[in-house]
Amino acid sequence: MSREVLLDVSDLEPPEPLVQTLDAAEQLQPGQYLRMLHRREPYPLYSNLEASHFRYYTRPGTSTAVEVFIWSENDAEAASAVQAIIDASHDH
């Protein structure tokens, strides 16, 4: 099982990016995180994620304008996997 679940919503019209991201976040297995690719920073998503006990980290993307990492706040394994990616990008 891959740790990363990739979801590209950059070509979708609202509200599809929000709906698909929340659905994909719900389906994360323990240890998994979601890497969501989007053309703009999805502000309405954040309050929805917080309300549902998800954590997120947003950074500029490579193929799209932004990418958002999303993981469950109770999932230490997924959190450390995302932390490793953040650290690697800072070192880079």
DSSP labels, 3-53: SEEEEE-TTPPTTHHHHHHHHHHHTPPTT-EEEEEESS--HHHHHHHHHTT
State which of residues 4, 6, 29, 44 lies at the interface with other proteins (CB under 8 A): 44
Residue 66 near residue 55, CB atoms below 8 Å = no
Does residue 43 touch other proteins according to CB under 8 A? yes
Does residue 47 touch other proteins according to CB under 8 A? yes
How many residues make contact with other proteins (CB under 8 A)? Answer: 24
Given the rule CB under 8 A, which of 17-25, 55-63, 82-90 is the region that contacts other proteins?
17-25
Residue 87 near residue 57, CB atoms below 8 Å = no
The footprint of other proteins (CB under 8 A) covers 10-15, 18-19, 22-23, 25-26, 39-40, 43-44, 47-49, 51-54, 72
